[in-house]
Structure 1
Amino acid sequence: MESIIIGGGKIGYNLLKTLKERGYQVTLVERDRDICARIADELDADVICGDGTDLEVLDDAGIAEAEIVAAVTGTDEENLVICQIAKISFHIQKTIARVNNPKNIEMFKALGVDRIVCSTEVIANLIESELDREEYRIIQTFERGSMLLVELDIGHSHPWCSMVVKDLRLPQECVITSIVREEKVIYPRGDTQIHEGDKVLFITNHTALMELMDFLRDRRS
């Protein structure tokens, strides 16, 4: 699964670096040749030099295989155009756009951009949650992305299925806030049992989330 970042400025650079460090396949598109050369050299990353609104450039970047496109240039209008091209021309399911002017947020939403954000950490978390969406979904972020509200789907084979809350092995920085069961919200106690089909919501940070996901994957294998 691949994501494409358009824009090699500070946000694009840090976003590329963050996702590569987390082990994801990601390509960056930037029109400035000097910036492309520097980023490719510093991060040993896949960098395409070209206009992110050009269909041929996007095709060269592998957009046909991408699941997510993040437009993080310094221009709101360009980010909007990129997201619309990704949706209309390449049928990308998830687009994320950086917005510099808060007045443009409603327009971006009305024109079909899936997520509108400005923080590097928030964008990285959104991309990661979509790429790993079978495991969890980040519902909301707080404190500039340092705190996450996460939703976890419980299938019949999930390690938490049929367990009670007090027996769950949770990182210290992870607190279960509620369980959604058949459209009803349950505020769990220690003896609350988790059922197949539940959606478990919890507050955590990124480090604790990765620790929890690694633990759950080990339990499944």
Structure 2
Amino acid sequence: MRAVVVGGGKVGYYLVKALIEKKHNVTLIEKNSTTCKKIAEELNVDVICGDGSDVEVLKDANIEEADVVAAVTGKDEENLVICQMAKVNFNINETIARINNPKNTAIFKALGVDKTVCSTQVICNLIEGEFNSEPLQVIESINSGEMVLVEAKIDKKSAWIGKSVEQLKLPKECLIISIVRCEKVIFPRGNEDIIEGDKVLIIINTNRKKDVEKSIIGG
């Protein structure tokens, strides 16, 4: 997966670092030349020194080849402009913007930004989740990583299809908190059946994640 990250501050730095560790192809755009030099020396990443809201700079970063663009500068207005340019000028399917003021969330959504987040790890998980084939996507870490909130996307191959919640063989350290079905949230009882297309949100101990994955794929 190829990602373009705009903004080389702390959020951008650790986001790029995390994506590189996951073997993704990343290009970073940052205005400050000193920051660019420092990141280029520390990380194995292509760094473009320039304004991420400049069309020519985006072209230099080969944005046309990107699967996702993440705008994580310290200014909400810049992140909005960058995401809109990625959509309008380069037809990027997936844009993610860092938001510093939560009050701007509705505005960003209304103006076409696909996802808005305020956490480096959440941004990374969103990007990762768009392009991996694992049955569980980690949404957020809880209690210093001891537990995780995960999303199970139920496709036609899932062993959970047609089973009720109470029939699922899950670890006791696991709690199904909701099912998203056709944009509606269901708070399931034991007799609620799982169907194809459901997104099941689960809280589980990190060390039991593999057990839940095996249950989903029928292992």
Q: Measure how far apart 1:109 and its partner are.
A: 2.0
| TM-score normalised to structure 1 length | 0.75
Q: Measure how far apart 1:118 and its partner are.
A: 1.5
Question: For residues 69 and 10 of structure 1, do their structure 2 counterparts lie closer, same or farther at Cα, with a shift above 3 Å needed?
Answer: same
Q: Measure how far apart 1:96 and its partner are.
A: 1.2
- Percent of pairs with identical residues: 46
Equivalent residue, structure 2, for 1:73: 73
Q: Measure how far apart 1:154 and its partner are.
A: 2.8
| Ranges in structure 1 where 5+ consecutive residues have no aligned partner | none
The one-letter code sitting in structure 2 at the alignment partner of 1:10 is K
In 1, distance between residues paired with 2:180 and 2:56? 45
Residues 144-183 of structure 1: pairs in structure 2 closer than 5 A: 149-161=149-161, 168=169, 172=173, 174-178=174-178
Equivalent residue, structure 2, for 1:199: 198
Q: Measure how far apart 1:156 and its partner are.
A: 3.5
Q: Measure how far apart 1:204 and its partner are.
A: 3.4
Equivalent residue, structure 2, for 1:21: 21
What do residues 119-155 of structure 1 show as CA deviations (whole Å, max 9, x unaligned)?
11121111112223784567x6586996765443333
| TM-score normalised to structure 2 length | 0.76
Question: Retained in 1: the 8 A contact 2:171–2:208?
Answer: no
Question: For residues 39 and 154 of structure 1, do their structure 2 counterparts lie closer, same or farther at Cα, with a shift above 3 Å needed?
Answer: same
In 2, distance between residues paired with 1:123 and 1:98? 8
Question: Retained in 2: the 8 A contact 1:8–1:28?
Answer: yes
More displaced, 177-186 or 49-58? 177-186
Q: Secondary structure at the match of 1:18?
A: helix
| Ranges in structure 2 where 5+ consecutive residues have no aligned partner | none
Q: How many residues end up aligned between the 2 structures?
A: 216
Question: Retained in 2: the 8 A contact 1:87–1:93?
Answer: yes
Q: Secondary structure at the match of 1:116?
A: strand
Q: Secondary structure at the match of 1:113?
A: coil
